[in-house]
Structure 1
Amino acid sequence: MQNMSGLHRDPLPEARPLAAPVGFVGLGNIGLPMARALTRAGHALRVHDRDPQRMRAAEDAGMTTAPGGVKDLAGCAVVALAVSDDDATEQVLTGTSGLLAALAPGSLVLLHSTLLPATVHRLGRQGQAHGVELVDAPVSGGAQRALRGELTVMAGGSEAAMTLARPYLEAIATETVHVGPLGAGAVAKLANQLMMFSALAGAYEALDLAKAHGVDTDAVLRAVGSSTGDSWVTREWGFFEEVAAAYERSGVPRHQRSWSKDLWDVVATAREAQLPVPYAALLAQTLAQRIEHRGAEES
């Protein structure tokens, strides 16, 4: 059962497909599986991506594409973005396409990318000027959970916006935590990323230590599975190497990959709050190279 308030778990009404088509921008590693989960839940989708191959994959999955670009999504009451970064998000919403200005007042935009809180706040003000509600709804769980509609969503937005978003969120997530007002979702996602990548860095060093003394990696992972060293990272060992290899195959620039971009976003967000985060700063400079190297070994 989803947790829309972050405080309690009241039963939710059965999810119903939204009346109008849902616009979806960004059909990458997470976006396309999310779009497929929405389609399977009965939502009609109108999708766009700059990559023609991804657009063809969406058509093959029964989605309607928007070959004219994001301007073709102006008639959608709900539009979701799962694009690469802050610049891409702003280009879709406020660039030459100007989707915020094109959407009808009362429309809803969901931001699934991992963004700087300052970007979310800026876009929120611009959306408000056009009568468009925004929810920052970054997701966690990976592509396989996205395909099954079993992601976790960390949502920031008004109660009114969360009510509008509910049918959509029920199709993509088994856990939606409303963490606060607009921008809070972005902060929660960065906190999640820092915890996860900290655990990953520690696991890399721990397994190097074991290997240096002739102890098998799989044996250590089995041992910690029921010990205090257990974590999602150790239970899903190999996840990041697979993602790195997938990014490499699809041509995602290395600076846009989560272990690089998100850690630098953590540092920037902490700096804005005048908060020292020395461990995050160290990880931002060291972890990406380690993951990329391991990904290359596994590919």
Structure 2
Amino acid sequence: MTTIAFIGLGIMGSPMSVNLVRAGHTVTGYNRTPDKTAPLVEAGGRAASTIAEAVVDAEVVAVMVPDSPDVRDVLTGIDGVFNHAKPGALIIDFSTIRPDVTAELAGAARARGLRPLDAPVSGGEAGARNATLSIMVGGEETDFQAARPVFDAVGKTVVHVGPSGSGQTVKAANQLIVAANLQALAEAVVFLEAHGVDLDAALDVLAGGLAGSAVLAQKRANMVTRSFEPGFRLALHDKDLGIVTSAAREAGVALPSAALVAQLVAAANAAGDGALDHSALLRGVERLSGRLRE
């Protein structure tokens, strides 16, 4: 049993915190919107009114918030983790943020006697609920091993990929691949429908060949039924592709497909689809084709 503070109880953080309770850990959660602590409390966890209250006795501090500025605020604010966590605590950032910000914050954490790990996840809301997330972890090997009970309670595929910032770099690559697959699937759906093909039959046969993918398996129903209840919001994917293109420029590498997909995702977000699931990229293709169903 580990005493865990969980900061950020949104679409992903809430079910992850509940799974940690179910695994036998003692979990105290904090969220800026207090009512989002309800599922954790119902599962047997506890709600804190401040970050300081949540982290003061924690052996592990888990963070799952939207973007780099949010992580910085949670960690470095006056009421934040760095000022109130006890020395030796593991700081696990499950958020998806810029690799350079992660490396900077990791250095600041170590200077305070804390043990930082960047551990962004893939698998969406379903993966969070079912504890089947894929977790890519950056940081010290010894800290990674110490955190394994936490990772194993929320994920299925857990891999240490290198020093601090490496987890975020791998997650950026993941988000590029997922977005490119979503865009290709969206274009295929619009193409098939335009030719009057039996869409379900076509997707069945595509799924059985080289075109098959986890994206096709998990997102085809969203596109076929035009149901875009967010499992992962398109606005967040827009943010993630900004990380990809920025990091690519810093590394001096050309990612032409990434640049194009990033623009298509940004356009869908700007058109008002940001609160929808990222499978709503279909609406962007329909919009360009004059086929958008409102």
Aligned residues: 275
| Structure 1 pair 158–298 and aligned structure 2 pair: CA distance change class (3 A) | farther
- Matched residue, 1:32: 14
Matching of residues 150-299 of structure 1 within 5 Å: 150-238=132-220, 244-246=228-230, 257-290=235-268, 292=273, 295=280
Whole-Å separation in 1 of the counterparts to 2:87 and 2:17: 24
Q: SS in structure 2 opposite 1:46?
A: strand
- Matched residue, 1:3: none
- Matched residue, 1:82: 64
Aligned residues with identical type, % of pairs: 34
| Structure 1 pair 169–99 and aligned structure 2 pair: CA distance change class (3 A) | same
| Structure 1 pair 298–87 and aligned structure 2 pair: CA distance change class (3 A) | farther
Cα shift readout 1:156-194 (whole Å, capped 9, x = no counterpart): 111111122111111111110111111110001110110
**How far has the Cα of 1:247 moved from its partner?**
7.4
Root-mean-square deviation (Å): 2.4
Q: Is the 8 A contact 1:70 1:92 kept in 2?
A: no
Unaligned runs of 5+ in 2: 284-291
Q: SS in structure 2 opposite 1:47?
A: strand
**How far has the Cα of 1:212 moved from its partner?**
1.3
**How far has the Cα of 1:210 moved from its partner?**
1.2
Normalising to structure 2: TM-score of the pair? 0.86
Whole-Å separation in 1 of the counterparts to 2:68 and 2:227: 21
**Which has the larger displacement, 122-131 or 229-238?**
229-238
| Structure 1 pair 236–228 and aligned structure 2 pair: CA distance change class (3 A) | same
Normalising to structure 1: TM-score of the pair? 0.85
**Which has the larger displacement, 269-278 or 63-72?**
63-72
**How far has the Cα of 1:144 moved from its partner?**
2.0
Q: Is the 8 A contact 2:125 2:231 kept in 1?
A: no
- Matched residue, 2:119: 137
Whole-Å separation in 1 of the counterparts to 2:227 and 2:194: 26
Q: Does the alignment pair 1:122 with 2:100?
A: no
